Chains A and B, each alone.
Chain A
Amino acid sequence: MPQILLDGLTLGFVYAIVALGYTMVYGVLKLINFAHSEVFMVGAFAGTEVLLFLHAMGYLATLPPAVALICAMLIAMILSGTLGVFIERIAYRPLRQAPRLVPLISAIGVSFFLQDAVRLIEGLWKNAFYLTAPTLFTNKITITPTLSLPVKSLVVIMAAVTMMVFLHLFVSRSKWGKAMRAVSQDQATASLMSINVNRVISLTFLIGAGLGGAAGTLFAAQYSLIHPYVGFLLGIKAFTAAVLGGIGNIPGAMLGGILLGLLESFGAAFLGVATNGAMGAEYKDVFAFAILIAVLIFKPSGLLGEPEREKI
């Protein structure tokens, strides 16, 4: 039982950080950034490559694992943050005045393009596009003889909480955060208040994608095996988390992520028991989608979101 709880929490925090990226972009642009899951994937690859490089150079044995992880996360954040800004510049900005479905379609295009681009690069470079990240934290904290906590899960949770706290402080206290909130409320008025809307949107993409990249590294450190299509399902689930918490709402994304992680992990564990063996853990992905559909039908504004008013 505590094991399931911990697994769920770890997964939930990864969802939560990725969900932040969706929710921030949705907040300012009202766009489902479909390519965010691929930004996450690129982050996972970048982080893993850094760890593999450190491993190959022999630093991994001498450096404290935390330093190595932070190093990998920073590089992944820079890379995927830049990628996020770049995507916005190329694929979304020219379409800002277009009907709402058009940028969504181009986002799907970006997502598909990135999957194969990473596959191509890794294929040429490493001759394989499945990567295994080196394990960083192997030890476990034993609490009782039956209960032990793997350190790597705790590291993921700690890193996620730290990032969320910083993000919250940034959005609620800093001048740029204020500008971001202003843009998400009303772009035209924000630009009249001499806020550089384009720059704020770029910044939003930078932060959202950077967080996605960091989440990718954490994911790789936790689950080891990654491939170019790893982002797809996780992205959908993170989006579900964002909707569950109320899209556009930052604390909502955190709450939604953690809830979804817990629901999924308990669902996978107890679905077999509950249905008398007819449905097992293989239905755990259906579970997440079913939650998404249910939330959208019964409470489209999510747990913490405000209902959207239709402007006439």
Chain B
Amino acid sequence: MRKVVIPTQLTESKIPFFLACTLVITAGPVFVVFPQSPAAFFTFLVSLLVLYKMSIPVPLKLVGAVISLGIIMPSVGSENGYYMDVIIQVGIYVALAVGLNIVVGFAGLLDLGYVAFYAAGAYAYAIFATSQASNFIPAAWATFPVSGNWFWLFLLVGLVVGAITGVLLGFPVLRLRGDYLAIVTLGFGEIIRIVLNNLDKPINITNGPKGLTPIQPPALFGMDLSEPIHYYFIVLSIIILIIVVAKRLNASRIGRAWAAIREDELAARSMGINLLKMKLLAFASGASFAGVMGVVFAAKQTFIDPSSFSFMESIGILAMVILGGMGSVAGAVIGAVAVLVLQLQILKELSEYLGQLSAAGVLSIPSQLDPAKYERMIFGLILIAMCIFRPQGIIPAKRQLVRLRERVRDWRAKREGGEDVDPA
């Protein structure tokens, strides 16, 4: 089968290509030399994006990615713990955005309560990894908190809990039309939050608004993995897994069924697609990713309470998906990185800078104007602007048209060559 080269702007002229190469090659070492500089951090992130967009062979890209994410980032992280923390948070949201992208982007089901599944996973681990579970499980059966070795099993538990919650919610509501579904999932997200807030009586299960702490860190062969660098690699490996699964799902028969449902439910149904089953599958796979990430989040934070799982979070993740491009896995990754860098870096730096200016008496800016307080406004503007000006997002989803056409062409070529080939 011939390889289809998709022309990008980088191949059309040599100069940008060399610039891109220079950027990719120098960004990492520069970041290692200046681990404290935000500019170096941005350049590093941009170089990753450029690496992804460059038209070089895939193995080369992989080598670049392994060097950047496997060597440079951890070594910088040991110098500058703050960036390590930022990048772990970015990683968690990347995974969530890729998960939500399955539901919203692939299958076209607007889920406004995605964070509920995240909460389900987080609480599933937190309840058993603190002494909380002894409130309802007799000490004769098991003692709590469970040891950190159980973390790995709980990743699976989180997956299953997420999927089950997804199916439980999805089963009754997936028959509804799109916009109703949005409101019902929103309501469900709120229900979960309210229940978590109030389930400290009659039996104390979630410890209510006080939250759960201290949550056991993961352990491997008796060694506690509580350093940021451990979480970095845990998160990184889960992200890689999730991205591969999402990409494979999208390219499969299931992914094509989702696309059909997204474009036209009626047509999809008449082509023999089982709507409910496929929608449930999308819902459950998105939810299970959130469940897994919830477990990681709980372990990393060592403290969780219901306020981490508000509607605001769901909208934040939605903004990432919309910004990056609905239905595009790379878009979801880039959207998550962009939103979090904006939130954790740009806004923070800006408000510190303004604060310094006010302190120096150059400008008098009231503290109400502090840009870090206006995340909602920024999410809102992102959503409106993207809808109006670029509904397909930063990196639009590629249609599979190219590949199918190519298959037909191959088939024709073979048939004309006299071979007897099955078109399927």
Contacts and interface: CB of A to CB of B under 8 A. Distances in A.
Interface of A: 31-32, 90-91, 94-95, 98, 100-106, 108-117, 119-120, 123-124, 127, 232-233, 236, 239-240, 243, 277-279, 282-283, 285-286, 289-290, 292-293, 296-297, 300, 310, 312
A236 B186 contact: yes
Given A112-B379, A283-B198, A293-B187, A106 B110 contact: no
A278 B376 CA distance: 36
Nearest to A233: B190
A90 B369 CA distance: 25
Interface of B: 108, 110, 112, 172-173, 175-176, 178-180, 182-184, 186-188, 190-191, 194-195, 197-198, 201-202, 266, 311, 315, 318, 322, 366, 368-369, 373-377, 379-385, 387-388, 391
Q: Most chain-B Cβ atoms within 10 A of its Cβ — which of A104, A290, A293?
A: A293
B368 A292 contact: no
Contacts of B110: 101, 104-105
Given A102-B387, A104-B178, A286-B191, 17 more contacts: A90-B384, A105-B387, A106-B384, A109-B382, A109-B384, A109-B385, A111-B380, A117-B377, A123-B368, A233-B190, A243-B183, A283-B194, A286-B194, A293-B172, A296-B180, A297-B173, A300-B176
**Which secondary structure characterizes the binding site on chain A?**
helix
**Which secondary structure characterizes the binding site on chain B?**
helix
A254 B83 CA distance: 54
Contact of B388 (A31, A106, A233): A106
B173 A112 contact: no
B195 to A, nearest CB: 7
A111 to B, nearest CB: 7
B380 A239 contact: no
A108 B187 contact: no
3 nearest A-B residue pairs (beta carbon): A109-B383, A113-B380, A123-B368
B368 A124 contact: yes
A124 B366 contact: yes
Contacts of A239: 183
17 contacts: A91-B384, A91-B388, A98-B391, A100-B178, A106-B387, A106-B388, A108-B315, A109-B379, A112-B377, A113-B380, A124-B366, A124-B369, A233-B190, A243-B180, A286-B194, A297-B172, A312-B266
B15 to A, nearest CB: 38
B384 A120 contact: no
A232 B112 CA distance: 14
B419 to A, nearest CB: 42
A113 B376 contact: yes
Contact of B182 (A102, A104, A106, A123): A104
Contacts of B266: 310, 312
Given A104-B179, A109-B380, A116-B376, A289 B191 contact: yes
Nearest to A117: B377
A116 B377 contact: yes
B374 A120 contact: yes
Nearest to B388: A94
Contacts of B201: 278
A32 B369 contact: no
B381 A109 contact: yes
A276 to B, nearest CB: 9
Contacts of A292: 183-184, 187
Q: Most chain-A Cβ atoms within 10 A of its Cβ — which of B179, B191, B322?
A: B179
Given A110-B384, A113-B376, A113-B377, A290 B173 contact: no
Q: Most chain-B Cβ atoms within 10 A of its Cβ — which of A112, A283, A310?
A: A112
Contact of A282 (B173, B187, B194): B194
Given A103-B387, A286-B194, A120 B172 contact: no
A293 B391 contact: no
Contact of B318 (A103, A105, A283, A297): A105
Contacts of B198: 279, 282-283
Contacts of A312: 266
A277 B369 contact: no
B187 A289 contact: yes
B388 A300 contact: no
A239 B182 CA distance: 12
Q: Most chain-B Cβ atoms within 10 A of its Cβ — which of A90, A94, A113, A119?
A: A113
Nearest to B172: A297
Contacts of B318: 105, 108
Given A95-B387, A112-B376, A236 B183 contact: yes
A72 B201 CA distance: 44
A57 to B, nearest CB: 25
B194 A285 contact: yes
Nearest to B377: A116
A293 B188 contact: yes
A32 B311 contact: no
A128 B175 CA distance: 45
A283 B199 CA distance: 10
Contact of A296 (B112, B173, B377, B387): B173
Contact of B179 (A101, A232, A278): A101
B202 A236 contact: no
A119 B266 CA distance: 44
A102 B391 contact: yes
A105 B383 contact: yes
